[in-house]
Amino acid sequence: MTAENSVRVVAAGDHFVLPSLITRAVQRDVERAEVRELRLGWPLEPFGPVAEVREASDAEDEMIEALAGAQVLVTQMGPVTEKVLAACPDLRLVVVCRGGPVNVNLDAAIQHDVRVCFAPGRNAAATAEFTLALMLCALRRIPQAHEPLARRGSWEGASYYTYEESGHELEDLPVGLVGYGAVGSRVARVLCAFGARVMVYDPYVHGEIHGLRIASLDDLLRRSRVITLHARLTPETRGLIGARELGLLPRGAVVVNVARGPLLDEDALCDALDSGQVSAAALDTYAQEPLPVESRLRGFTGRVVLTPHLGGASRAVAEKAARIAAEEVGRWVRGEPLAHCLT
């Protein structure tokens, strides 16, 4: 593809990354782009497995129809399956507006000579901010104080002014970060501004960090009144924080997870909440999503803050995702090396 040629692009957005956001971003970065828009149902309609891909909107036929004659697809939830790739021989580039192309059959893309790119870092700032918000909610009992006043007009705040029930300040509080990537490093920087005593465990990160580097996870846990998880989910990190690890925390510690649910053993966390080993938790991600109605986590009213995987839900994330994707399309059109390419 050369800059002189027109490129046909399908902007298969949804109700979060709007097709219009993708279109504007592509047209800013690509001089000669013909963009066709398709809006998929997420998040008003749930994603799930579609054919052989794990997380996508159930819209293979709609994708095939929209992609007729198109060379480029930019999407967040569009299913890029073997069926779609086989039916769209003109398709040469797929850019996924997410941190990974879990809605793409990568093996089939290679077989069909389709490059696949993604949009790393698009939600790092939003997730870091949400982590701090949940941490403050858990430490200062904000949701618990809001509920009786807003719903029943009951002035129950007095109980939170007793020494036993009052919360903790971030200033001088030992906070341990498990992972120091794009999100964890931002959380550390903000915690330092609050005056927290920040400690970091991440064996894969070298160089300067915000806070004190701790050589072992066990040592970090023993020294942290709050832990917040920011590790990537891999076979090695699945279940990283279980009963043994929670037992190493100082009694009454707080656990925050806005990363990936399976990093944390939820049954072990519930046991620790039951025993008082953990005094509170704030979670945005879970081993199974949506969180099952029968989950034990729902039984800790007043001690656990639960949100439905909203860490990346900001308008800026949608705008950044469209911009990162469009920049990749521009590089492809100009024949430049792709920045975030897997095939």
pLDDT of amino acid 231: 97
Domain count, the chain: 2
Catalytic site residue from 24, 28, 303, 309? 309
pLDDT of amino acid 160: 77
Q: 């480029």: which residue's tokens?
A: 72
pLDDT tens by residue, 277-313: 999 999 999 999 999 999 999 999 889 999 999 999 9
Catalytic site residue from 52, 65, 165, 289? 289
CATH of the domain at 23: 3.40.50.720
pLDDT tens by residue, 17-62: 999 999 999 999 998 999 999 999 999 999 999 999 999 999 999 9
Q: Pick from 118, 26, 44: which is nearest to 80 by CA?
A: 118
Hey, how many other C-beta atoms are within 10 angstroms of the C-beta on 308? 12
- The DSSP code for 221 is H
Is residue 209, in this structure, part of any structural domain at all?
yes
Note whether 115 and 50 are same-domain residues: yes
Chain mean position to CA 165? 32
Note whether 105 and 35 are same-domain residues: yes
| Distance, CA of 200 to CA of 176 (rounded, Å) | 6
Note whether 291 and 319 are same-domain residues: no
Chain mean position to CA 194? 24
164 is catalytic: no
Note whether 292 and 178 are same-domain residues: yes
Please answer whether residues 76 and 14 qualify as being in contact, where contact means their C-beta atoms are separated by less than 8 angstroms: yes
Hey, how many other C-beta atoms are within 10 angstroms of the C-beta on 270? 18
- Which residue stretches of the chain have pLDDT < 70? 1-4, 157
Partners of 110 in the β-ladder: none
pLDDT of amino acid 2: 45
Is residue 339, in this structure, part of any structural domain at all?
no
Catalytic site residue from 141, 210, 225, 260? 260
The domain of 221 spans 124-306
260 is catalytic: yes
Note whether 185 and 263 are same-domain residues: yes
**Encoding tokens for residue 278?**
């953990």
